Structure formats: structure tokens, C-alpha cells
Amino acid sequence: MVKMDLELITTLFRTSIRMATPILLASLGGALTYHAGIINVAMEGLMLISAFFSVVFSYLTGSALYGILAGMLASIAISLLYSVFVSFLKANNFAIGFALNILVSSLTLFLMRVMFQGKNAFNSPDIASIVELKLKTGNYFLDNYIFNFSILTYLSILIAFLLAYVIYRTSFGLRLRVCGEMPEALKAAGIKVGFVQLWSSILCGALCGLAGAQLSLYNVRMFSRDMTGGRGFVALAAILISGGKPKRILLISLLFGVFDALSVKLQSEKIAPQFALMLPYIMSVVVLLLFHLKTRKRLKNA
Amino acid sequence: MSVYSGAPLGAPVSYRGVLQILTCKSVSKTYPNGLEALKEVSFDVRRGEIHAIVGENGAGKSTLMNILFGMIKPSSGEITFKDKPFSPKHPSEAIDLGMGMVHQHFKLVQSITVAENVVLGMENRFQNKLRKIDMAEVNRSVASLIEKLKMSISPEDRIEGLPISKRQQVEILKVLYRDTDFVILDEPTAVLAPNEVDDFLEFVMGIREMGKTVVFISHRLGEVFAIADRITILRRGRVAGTFEKKEVDRESVANMMIGSAIDLSEHPEDSLKSDVVLSVEEICDVSGTLKDLSFELHEGEILGFAGVGGNGQEELFEALAGNLKLSSGDIKLRGSSLKDHDTFGRRMAGLAYITDDRMRKGLAPDRSIIDNSIAGHHKFGKFGKVAINNSKARAFAESIIADYDVRTSKNGKTTVSALSGGNMQKLLVGREIAFEPKVLLAAQPTTGVDVAARKLIHDSFRKLSKAGSGIVLISGDLEEIMDLANRIIVLYRGRAVAEMSYPHYDSTEISYYMTGIRGSQDVHCSNAQP
Amino acid sequence: MFTARTPSLKKLSFSLLLVVCILSVWALIIWFGGESPFKGFYYIIDGSLGNHYQILSTLNKMVPLILAAAAVAVPAWTGMWNIGGEGQLLLGAFGAALVGFSVDFGVGLVNIVVALIVSAAFGMAWAAWPAIFKIKLKMDEVVTTLMGNYIAAQIIAYLINKPFRDPKSPLAQTPYIKSSFVIPYLFEGTQFSATFFVAIVIVLALFIFRKRFLLGYEFEITGSNSVFAELSGVRVSKTKMLSMLIGGALAGLAGGLLVLGMTQRVMQSFSPGYGFTGLLVCLLAFNNPLLIVGIAFLFSVLHTGSVNLQLFSSVPAEISGVLQAVMVLFVAAFKTFIVGRRDG
């Protein structure tokens, strides 16, 4: 009995971590653009295009690494496009973001049909998946809770701490934050606002690229239509709740990962599957709601 | 590595090169919407002088400064700076050549410290191998400059806690921290109280002693004549003339600024009646700024509230307008309480508002003049109940345009953002007065407005008060208040610390109350006699 | 003092350049899909406008787009972003179907009107909660309306799978609506129904509302500067709320019209993304009701035409989404040059 419960918790934990990783990566990327003053609604598209190209290149080269790199490049390309439109051409942020999301959604489907004559999904045993940090120490806790996760998971946690340092202690971070808070001050200081935003976009693209690769080369091992399923917006919610602070993002992403895992678990129970699938989105709204209620209370009591 | 030139205060810097450090030849600027802001502007600035640029708003001063600093590009013309052709595409180029600008609207980042704001742009000189900023070094470096300039701020202060005059010091620090030898000051005294101005002017002269060249933009001729060596007058985008100070006097400069002799000495009308139209009783607002403020406004009276910005002026306006809730006290219009009415309700009861922020609160800049004119009035059924009567709306807008001399190229259909600041303000004033309100609340009604527009607005106030309305005039421009108000109340820290009636006005006295030198110990307010 | 505006010649040449750019990229994409661009364009045009059957079919496809775009436009007039059209449409569709298979008032017209009102109401309700959150709690409506889409999709999936599942069908869908609820196709053999005229009438009504009615005026100044609007006596919160409710109602109505006029029930994959396509249409139309009709027509041509393209060549029909998105991006890029921007 006890062992079964432990198995359950372990599975839940491992699934949570697995689900949390893409959200964490995307949120960290989006946090950079957030500090630079852009509410990034294109993360969905960034992740999706990376998911696609990761699978394609992993399939073609047999190496997950090339897949990841290809995915990142694709993501960075779209991110650059986003940045050019929003930072330099001063187009509307939401408009371009959604246009890009739709572009990527249609484009990946289009490319998949052209390249693979596939239906709505592309699956093949030749797709190489991302390696795990495989280690068998014999200790149950270590083996299941610390080791044997995708290397991107470990990388993402590292990046979270790295970004906390970069954003709040370095010159780049200072300029980034000023860019979002008061771009005129940056301009008057002689720094080009557009380039700061551009760099934040490139880094965001890279991180979302990693997120997409994790989705299609580890969490599952295929590409299917619109497989990001709104995660890009869950990441946005995470960023807004945490105010762009990387350590908080780490916690929130884990929380969302738990919700995701619960939804997978509940699907095999008697509860109708749709409620489980709804959970991450409802939770995003609820968490945002609580956050705003708390802020409102604080303002009232001030 | 020191980023400050290191020369002690007062040491002269040797002159090099030609006498003219800056020359502008036929500089013009036409904005995409067709507005010709500058027309063939030519003038020069000599090394080491204090050169004042005067002119109404809409004259092109801001445009000219923004071009010099690389914020916008000229449509044509040549500029030479330090003997080389100068066409900066970005402020970084101007800064690299030794130019610095203290903006009228501060560009300070609230959430970071004084030192971080000052070194922004050069902070990478303080980085170690890991790109971490050495804040201790930064603070030390900024502190030494603060000391040299005898300022009273600390590098670790956060901007959000500093009063406006200190924020200005931070802006100046930003400029002087770099190897600047050409300093542009854009309307620097706009935020200062009268007795602070003298100190500031001395400070500017001190900068000149350091060997720097100063371009000083202002429309306050008293200051200009106190410190400038030469004066360039801009009028409607053209240079009306450049003169040595000894060649001209205040009146002739004012003359050249607007093209006709103006009367610098105005005085308030006496149309005071005894009936009280607005009664404010010991109000305190929820933000805690206003403290038991009480006063009465009579019919036909213009009541002026003097004070340096940040002492409750904004809160007073918002409280009277209904945007800021009261925690205690009451506001009564002709005896009936306004407390529970919102802004719209108060309009219906007879209030009108001239806000101090025309772009953000007074107007909808990307909509047409007609749309802006009928705003508020549309609630009174003047243009129909459900559907809009377009011809009535247009006629209404056009009558405001005509009565208030709003200069526009396409009448009512022009987008408001295409108008100059002064014309926008006239439109705003015209629209509000058209409500024929019982009480007009006016906050900073002539900021950024040229002399002719200012006179027109003042005259319209007088006309309104003659007709029996009361006007609450909140302004940082003491001269304006003294020109118009029948009574003056000085606001300091949310309290009325002094009250005077015309003709017993003494601007020095008033400035003491404004800066808290007098009157701030009193707890009870209202009717404190000077 | 003011010179002439940007010369129209310059504007015209930029507009032409824009069209050339869009067509070139489209050609490239078609070519990549495996067909010669000229033939590709031909198939698209022929498939959507080739004969009167296809024209009517194209026009009919505009209906959900027009309403979905209007669902974004009206809130945009007050400065609100309604990205929840997809979810509102689904719930509206369900509302209409619910009425359609449950009750019967005897008279066809009454049935249809009631069903449509219910669909608008359901859509309105789904737009209400993000609106309330934004207005009362300052919660960004972009994220909430977006999440709402995914939540609504699951709600509908549940409803058509369990409680309201059609017992007579092996597929997960609602029962068919009763025949008196159906809005019939008008012409034999074509897919064109009166729903088209409903959509046009609604768009015209919106146009007139915006230009000629005081409330429309208040909507616009709220969107332009809400602080100013408040000071001018506009009840900004109420106005924004109303605009969102109208937006939701329009999206719900789109769903209802789809059920009554085309599918007659709600099934899996009911909406191929009408909500988001509607967003694109609205963006290209700059929230202008009349332009929405024109852009919706263009999108419909691309959509219907692409299906034909797939039939006659190796190019998949999904190309239509790519073509549409490319157009939006180019227009956004060129907008700054054609409309002009603030110098700074």
C-alpha cells in the first residue's frame, strides 16, 4: 500500500518536472522581453516552430542535438521578426504576436503536409530524443527525484539562477529593466532602445527554442498539430504573476507543471477527461485572480 | 578611471578653435503631419557664453533642442559643432561629442537609485570580468561629483522618494558626470519656487565659470536678463534676432517674441460678489495629502492657489473634480454637497475642469477637434439624445475655434495631435468655458503656452468671472496668479498656510510660504493673515 | 503654416509596393508547395470565384469571419482586447443547438430568433467574466480571454461527449436541431443562406452606430483616451463592459448562425479557428466595420480557393493560413510608411 502511494507520488513528481520544463524555459525567455517592456504573446508560436524543426532535424540527422539547435534557430528567426516589427517598425505588439502565432501554426502544418505527406502528426522511430542525465546510484530518492531527467531540465534550472544574476546585477540587466520602465531615459543616456529589445528577443527565442525542443523531443517524440496547446500563454501568465523574477518563475512553473501532471493523472480516473485538460488553464486564471486580489487588498490597506 | 574631467570648480579651461562652438545654418523641420516647426533657423553660440533662447511655445524651441541632441532629424539645413559638420542620428552621438541636455520633462527611472540613473549608459565601465556592476565604486564616483557641485542628495537615494527640485539636480548630475562642455537647459526653472530660482541661476553662472557653454531655454524674461550673455528670439519657427544683452530690454524682446507690444503688468478684475458659490470644509483626501483644507469661493471671484508642485495642488484639483475620494470633510456647491457625486455628476451640477495634463487627461489627441470639442457637452443633449447631429457638432466646434483663435489648417476635422501646445490648450479652455460653469477648476492653465495664447486665456477667465462664475486657479506660475486672482491662498504640504487679498500681494512673502520658511508650523489653516 | 500632407502619390506607390510584396511572397510559398505560382493563383481564384456556385459559397464562408472580426473590433473601439472569440463562438453555437433540439415554438421565425438570441447570450456571458476581471481587478483581458478559449473548448467537448450527446450517432456531437430552426440554403445546390444578409445587416448597423450615435462616439473616445473620456462624463467602466458584452454576443451569434445555417449541430472540430482568423481580419481592417467586410471577402477567397488548389495540385489547403498571416505582417510593416508615424 505504502509502496503504491510512493510510486504514485514519484510518477506525479516526475511528470510534473517534465511538464514544467518547457514552461520554465519559455517563461524565462519571456521574462527577458517582459523586462524590456514587451508583453510577449508570440511565445506560443516560438515554441511551436521550434518543436517542428527540432523533430525534423532530429529525424534527418539522427541527433537530438542538431534537432535542438535547429529548433532554436527557427525560434530565434521568428523572434527576430517579432522584434523588428514591434521594436523598430513600431507595429502593434498584440497584432504581430498573434499574426506570428497563426503563421507558425499554419506554416508548420503546411510544411508537414508538404514534406511528409502526413496528416496531423508526424511520428517516426528515427526521431532521436533528448538525452537524460542517466545515473543509477541504487538510492531510490536520488534515482527518481534528482537524477534521470532530461538534460534540458537541469539546464533550465541553471538558467533560472543565471538570469536572476544577469537581470539584477549586470549592466545588461540594468539597461534591460530601464528599457521596460522608461525607454526615454535609456535613449537620453545614449543607448539604443531597439537594440536592447532586440537582444532580449534573441535570447527569448533561444530559450523558447529549448522549450519547444523539450516538448517534441522528450515529453513526447513527435510533432502534432498545434502541439504547444496554449503553453505559450500559460508561460505568459507565469511571467505576469512573478513579475519577471526568475526565481519566482521557477516556483510558478513547477506549480503549473504539477497542474499539468494532475490533469494527465486524472484522465485515467473516472472524472471526464475534459475537466482534467481544462485544469492548467483554469488554474492560470485562478492564480492570476488570486494575485490580483492580493494586490488590490494591499493597495486598499496602504 | 575617472569619468569626470577632474577640473576643480572655478578653473578656466583654455579656449581652442573658433569662437563659435555651434552654428546652425538654415535649419528647417517639417513634421510628417505638415507642421512647419522650424523655418531656416540660423544662429550661432559662442564658446563659454550663456546663450538664452526665448520664444513662445510653438515657436520651435523644443524642436530645435531635440534636433541638436539627436532625438529628431531636421528636414534641411546644416549644423556645425566644434568645427565639424554635426548631424547626430541618436543622442549617443551628441553625448560623445560633449553635448549634454537637461530635459524639461525628467527622464529618470523611478525604481533605481540616483547613482544608477547617473551612470546609465556608462555603467559598463564599472563592470568586472563577470560583468557584475561594482555598485560601491559607482556610488563613490557619483558622490564625489555631488560634493564638488555642493548638491544635497545621496547616490543611494531612490528617485521615487525625491522632491522635484532634487530630481532636477540628478538630471544635472547626469549631464555633468560626462565630459560635457556644452550644456542645454530646457526650461529648468519651471519646477522651482521663486527663491530657489536665484540659487539655480547662480549655479548656472558657476557652470560657465567652469568653462562650459550653456544654452538656456526659457520664456521667463526676468531670469534671462539676469544671466544671459546673448539672447536669440524664436518666433513661429523663425529667428527674430540674436542680440547681446546690453542691446535690448525686456519689453522689446517680448515685442519681438509676439510681434506686438504687450502689457506685462496686468491686474485682477474686481467682480467679486458676496454669495458663496463653492464651500470647501476641512477636507482630507484618502491619500493623506490634503489636511483639513477649508476655503470659500465667491461668485465672480478668482481664487488662486499658489505653491510649488507637490504640495497638494494635484490632490486639491482631483478632490474637487471628484476623482479623489475624501476621507473627511465636505465640498458644497451653492449649499448642496458634492461629496457623493462623481466627476460627471459634478459637471452636471455646474463644475468645469481645465486639467494640467492636456495630452493625457484633457484631450484625446488622436481624435478630431470636433470629437474633442463636444466631449462632455454631448451629455447635455446639445447634439441630440441618441444619434449625433453632425452639423450642430461641427458648428459648436467651429465657434470654439473662432472664439479662442485655435490655429488649424482644416478646421474641425484636424486631429488634435497636429496642433501646437498652445492651440491645444486654447481648445481645451474654450471647451470648458463653453459649459458656462458655476465654478471653473483650472490647473496650470497656461503651461507650455505662448504669450498671446496666455493673454487670451487670462482674458477669457476674466470674462467668465465677470459673468458671475467662480474660478479656482491652481498654478505654479506666481505671476499668473498675481495677475488674475482676487485672493491668493498658498498651499504647503497640503495645508493652506497663507491667504492674501489683492492688492496686498508680495511675491517674496509668498515664496517664503511656498517653500515652508514661514507658516509651516501652523496646524490650523485658512485665513492666516500675513 | 501647414503644408500639404504626405503626397498621395507617395502613399499610392507604397500601397502598390505592399501589394507586390505580398503577391511575391505568396507566389514563393505556392512554388515551395509544389505548384507554379500562376497556376496556383488561378486555382485559388477559380475555386472561389469561378462560377456562381463557388461565389456564393465564398460569400457564405464570410459570415463567421465577419462576425468574429466584429467581435474583436467593437471591444477594440473602447480599448479592450477580445481574443476570446473562439470560445465565445463555441458556446454560442452550443446555445443555439441546445434551443434547437430541445424546444419548439411552432413558428420557424420565432424559433430561429430565439435560438440566435440564446447564442448571443451565451457568447456574451463568456465575454463577461474576463471583462469583469479586467474592470474590477485590472487583470489583463488578453490572457483571460485567451485562456477562456481553451477552457470553453473543453467545456464544449465535455458537453457533446456526455450530457448532450446525440444517442443516435456514433460520433460525439449534439443532436440535430429541429427542422424549423434551420436557416436554409437559398439556392439549389449552393451553400449560401440568409445568414449572409444577417451578417451584412449587423455590420452596417455597427458602422452607423459608430459614426452616428452618441454611444458610438463614447466608445471611440474611451478607446482613444479613457481618462479624458471619464472626465467628459463617459462612464468608462460601463462602456468598456458594454463593448466586451457586445463583442461576446457577436461571436456567440457567429456560432449560432453556423449551427442554424450550416452544420445543424455542434460536433468535434466545430470551428477551424474562426475566432483567430477573425482577429486577423479585424487587425487588417483597423477595426472598421466596412473594411471588415472587404477583408473577410479576401480571406474567404483564399480559404475556399486553397481547397480547390489542393484538389488540383500538390499544395495542401493549409496554405491559406500562411497566406493570410503573411498579408497581416506585411500590412503591419507598411502601415508605418503609408499612414505615417510620429517623429521621435
CATH assignment at residue A13: 1.10.3470
pLDDT, tens only, B157-181: 888 888 877 888 888 888 888 878 8
Report the pLDDT value the prediction gives residue C299, as an integer from 0 to 100.
Answer: 93
Residues of chain B in contact with residue C78, where contact means CB-CB under 8 angstroms, are: none
CA distance B444 to A225: 59
pLDDT, tens only, A179-193: 988 888 888 787 888
Looking at mean pLDDT, say which of A259-268, B298-307, B412-421 comes out highest. B298-307
Please, what's the largest Cα pairwise distance for chain B? 75
Report the pLDDT value the prediction gives residue A5, as an integer from 0 to 100.
Answer: 81
| Distance spanning both ends of chain A, measured CA to CA | 51
Q: Is the ipTM of this complex over 0.85?
A: no
Tell if the CB–CB gap between A296 and C332 is shorter than 8 Å.
no
The burial class, CB within 10 Å (0-12 / 13-18 / 19+), for C336 is middle
Cell numbers that stand for B435 in this block: 459649459
**A59 neighbors A125 (Cβ within 8 angstroms):** no
Looking at per-residue confidence, does B343 or C221 come out higher?
C221
Nearest-by-Cβ selection for C230 from B73, B343, B379: B343
On whether residue C311 sits in a domain, the answer given is no
Closest CA to C241 of C141, C107, C334: C141
In Å, how far is B72's CA from the nearest CA of chain C? 5
Residues of chain C in contact with residue A105, where contact means CB-CB under 8 angstroms, are: 321
Please state whether the peptide bond connecting residue B503 to the residue before it is cis, i.e. omega within 30 degrees of 0. Answer: yes
Report the pLDDT value the prediction gives residue B458, as an integer from 0 to 100.
Answer: 93
pLDDT, tens only, C84-142: 999 999 999 999 999 988 888 888 888 899 999 999 999 999 999 999 999 988 888 88
Q: Which helix (H) or strand (E) holds A141?
A: helix A140-141
How far, rounded to the nearest angstrom, does the alpha carbon of residue B202 sit from its chain's CA centroid?
Answer: 21
Report the pLDDT value the prediction gives residue B9, as an integer from 0 to 100.
Answer: 43
The torsion angle over the Cα atoms of residues C281, C285, C288 and C293, rounded to 10 degrees, is -60
User: Which stretches of chain C sit within 8 Å of chain B by CB?
Assistant: 1-6, 212-215, 217-218, 220-221, 224-225, 227-235, 340-344
The sign of the CA dihedral C210, C204, A102, C268 is positive
Report the pLDDT value the prediction gives residue B1, as an integer from 0 to 100.
Answer: 25
Tell if the CB–CB gap between A98 and C326 is shorter than 8 Å.
no
Q: What single-letter DSSP state applies at residue C178?
A: P
Residues of chain A in contact with residue B102, where contact means CB-CB under 8 angstroms, are: none
Per-residue pLDDT averaged across B332-356, rounded? 88
The percentage of residues in chain B with a pLDDT greater than 90, rounded to a whole number, is 21
CA distance B174 to C125: 53
pLDDT, tens only, C17-51: 888 989 999 998 888 888 888 888 888 888 888 88
**Which string of DSSP letters, residue by residue, matches B356-402?**
S-IIIII--TTSBHHHHHSTTGGGGTBTBSSB--HHHHHHHHHHHHH
Report the pLDDT value the prediction gives residue A198, as an integer from 0 to 100.
Answer: 93
pLDDT, tens only, C269-296: 888 889 988 998 998 898 999 999 999 9
pLDDT, tens only, C147-186: 899 899 989 988 888 888 888 888 888 888 888 888 888 8
What length is written for chain B? 530
Cell numbers that stand for A263 in this block: 490533469
Residues of chain C in contact with residue B60, where contact means CB-CB under 8 angstroms, are: none
Domains of chain B: 17-98+179-259 (3.40.50.300), 105-178 (no CATH), 276-514 (3.40.50.300)
What is the pTM (predicted TM-score) of this model? 0.77
Tell if the CB–CB gap between B111 and A181 is shorter than 8 Å.
yes
Looking at the DSSP assignment, which residues form a beta bridge with residue B295? B280
Tell if the CB–CB gap between C144 and A285 is shorter than 8 Å.
yes
Strand B439-443 and strand B470-474: the pairing is parallel
Q: Is A266 on the interface with C (CB under 8 A)?
A: no
Closest CA to B377 of B426, B436, B333: B436
Owning domain of residue C71: 66-276
| pLDDT over 90 (residue A263) | no
Tell if the CB–CB gap between C233 and B379 is shorter than 8 Å.
yes
On whether residue C33 sits in a domain, the answer given is no
Q: Is B286 on the interface with A (CB under 8 A)?
A: no
Q: Is A239 on the interface with B (CB under 8 A)?
A: no
pLDDT, tens only, B382-431: 888 888 888 889 899 999 988 888 887 777 788 888 887 788 899 999 99
The burial class, CB within 10 Å (0-12 / 13-18 / 19+), for A298 is exposed
In Å, how far is A51's CA from the nearest CA of chain B? 33
Nearest-by-Cβ selection for C221 from B321, B344, B375: B375
Write down the mean pLDDT value for chain B: 81
Q: How many domains does chain A have?
A: 1
Which are the contacts of C205, defined by CB distance < 8 A and separation ≥ 6? none
CA distance C283 to C286: 5
The percentage of residues in chain B with a pLDDT greater than 70, rounded to a whole number, is 85
Tell if the CB–CB gap between A169 and B133 is shorter than 8 Å.
yes
Closest CA to B390 of B416, B358, B406, B412: B412
**A241 neighbors A107 (Cβ within 8 angstroms):** no
How many beta-carbon pairs below 8 A join chains B and C?
98
On whether residue C94 sits in a domain, the answer given is yes
Q: Is C34 on the interface with A (CB under 8 A)?
A: yes
Nearest-by-Cβ selection for C283 from A41, A95, A272: A95
Q: Is C320 on the interface with A (CB under 8 A)?
A: yes
Nearest-by-Cβ selection for A91 from C277, C314, C333: C333
Q: How many domains does chain C have?
A: 1
Closest CA to C63 of C259, C184, C193, C196: C196
Tell if the CB–CB gap between B32 and C214 is shorter than 8 Å.
no
The sign of the CA dihedral C302, C308, C310, C312 is negative
Q: What single-letter DSSP state applies at residue A132?
A: B
Q: Angle between the A273-301 and A231-242 helix axes, to the nearest 10 degrees?
A: 20
The torsion angle over the Cα atoms of residues A30, A35, A36 and A37, rounded to 10 degrees, is 90
Residues 192-211, chain A, touching B (beta carbon < 8 A): 192
CA distance C53 to C32: 30
Report the pLDDT value the prediction gives residue B83, as an integer from 0 to 100.
Answer: 87
Q: Is C339 on the interface with A (CB under 8 A)?
A: no
**Separation in Å, CA C35 to CA A113, A229, C31, C43, C312:** 14, 31, 5, 10, 10
Report the pLDDT value the prediction gives residue B268, as an integer from 0 to 100.
Answer: 76
Nearest-by-Cβ selection for C332 from A96, A107, A285: A96
Tell if the CB–CB gap between A172 and B96 is shorter than 8 Å.
no
For chain C, where are the alpha helices, taking DSSP H only? 8-32, 37-49, 52-77, 85-102, 108-137, 141-161, 195-212, 214-224, 226-231, 236-258, 274-284, 289-312, 319-339
**C35 neighbors C313 (Cβ within 8 angstroms):** yes
Residues of chain B in contact with residue C229, where contact means CB-CB under 8 angstroms, are: 364, 375
**Separation in Å, CA B272 to CA B464, B467, B473, B487, C301:** 12, 10, 15, 10, 72
**A60 neighbors A265 (Cβ within 8 angstroms):** no
Q: In the 3-class helix/strand/coil scheme, how is C222-273 assigned residue by residue? A: HHHCHHHHHHCCCCHHHHHHHHHHHHHHHHHHHHHHHHHHHHCCCECCCCCC
Q: What single-letter DSSP state applies at residue A183?
A: H
Chain A residue nearest residue B174, CA to CA: A189
Report the pLDDT value the prediction gives residue B3, as an integer from 0 to 100.
Answer: 25
Residues 34-93, chain A, touching C (beta carbon < 8 A): 39, 41, 81, 85, 89-92
